[in-house]
Chains A and B, each alone.
Chain A
C-alpha cells in the first residue's frame, strides 16, 4: 500500500465519520460545526482529485460561506422548539433501507462506469489556445460553457430577491443587519486585521484565474466573507437595499457578460463568442466585474433580508 493511498483511505474514513456524526448528533449547533469540518475535509479530497479550482470553491463557498450561514441560523434558532414529531421507528427503517439501496445501486454503477472513461479533456486542451487562457477550467467556464456561468451569476439575483422579499413591508428599502452579537474587542481586532489580507487574496484569485486555479467565484466568495466579517463586527453598516449604486453593483457582472455576449453576435458570429484575438482581455474584463458583483450578491445573501426600517 502506497502512502498516497493511505492518505486517501484516512481522508475517506474521516469524511464519512464526520458526515455520520453531523447527521446523528442531537444538537443542531454542534451539527453545524461538524459540517464546517466536513467542508474542510472535502477541500482536501478535491485536492487529492487533482481539482484545485473546485477545492478553492469548496473552501470558500461550500465550507466557508455555507458554514457561516448555517452557524448564524443555528445560533438564532437555539431557542426554537420543533413541534413536528420525529418520524417513527418504522419510517426510519424504511428510509434507512431505501437509502442503503440507493447507495448500493449507485456503488454498482460507479464500479460499472466504462474504462477508459469518456472525457472531454482533449477537446478542451485542443481549443484552449483560441481563448488565450492557461487554466482549462476557466476556459470551460468562460468560453465553452459561458452560458452556464452567465446563468449562474444571474441565478444569484432571484435568490437574493427571494431573501429580500422576506422582509417586513415597512422595512423595505432599509438595510439588512448582520451584527447580532455584542461588540467585542477581539472580534473588532480580527475584523480590522483580516480583511486587508482577504481582499488581496480575493483579487489575487480573480486575477490569477485566467491561467492558474482561481476565478471570479472563488475571489468573489473570499471578498464576500471579508465584507460579512466587517459587518458582523459592526465596523460598517450594510447598505440599504434601495440604494441605486448597490443595485448597479449587483447587476454589473451579468450585464457586462450579457453585453459582451451579445456583441459576439455581431463581431464573432455567435452569442457568447469572443472575436479572435480579443478573447483573453474580454474574459478578464468579465471576470473582474463578475467578481465584484458576486462578492456583493453573496455578502447580501449572508446578510439576509432588510430588517431596519428606512429613516
Chain B
C-alpha cells in the first residue's frame, strides 16, 4: 500500500514539476502576452495541483490534507482572477512598466 502511495506521489510530483517547466518555457518563448498567459495559467495551476495531489498521501490526515487543498484552491482562484485582469490589461495595452 505504502509503495503504491509512494509511486503515486513520485508520479504526481514529477508531472507537476514538468508542468512548471512547460509554463516557464511558454512564458519565455510564446510571442505575445495573451498566448503567454495561456501557457502560464494552464501550466502553473496544473503544476501546483499535481504537486498538491502528490503530497496528499505524505501529510497528516485530515488537517494537513485540508490545508493542502485549501492552498491549491486559493492559488487557483487568485490565478483565475488575476489572469482575467491581466488579459484585460493586455488587451487595453496598459502602460508599459
Contact = CB atoms under 8 A, between A and B. Distances in A.
A and B touching (Cβ–Cβ under 8 A): yes
Interface of A: 27, 29-30, 184, 186-187, 189-190, 193-194, 197
Q: DSSP majority for the A interface?
A: helix
Contacts of A27: 97
Given A197-B70, A197-B74, A187 B81 contact: yes
B77 interface: yes
B85 interface: yes
Chain B residues touching A, range: under 10
Given A184-B85, A186-B85, A197-B70, A30 B97 contact: yes
Contacts of B70: 197
Contact of A194 (B78, B84, B85, B97): B78
Contacts of B81: 186-187, 189-190
B78 A190 contact: yes
Contacts of A184: 85
Contact of B77 (A29, A30, A187, A190): A190
Contacts of B78: 190, 194
Interface in B77-92: 77-78, 81, 84-85
A30 B97 CA distance: 7
A187 B85 contact: yes
A199 B30 CA distance: 39
B3 to A, nearest CB: 22
A189 B97 CA distance: 26
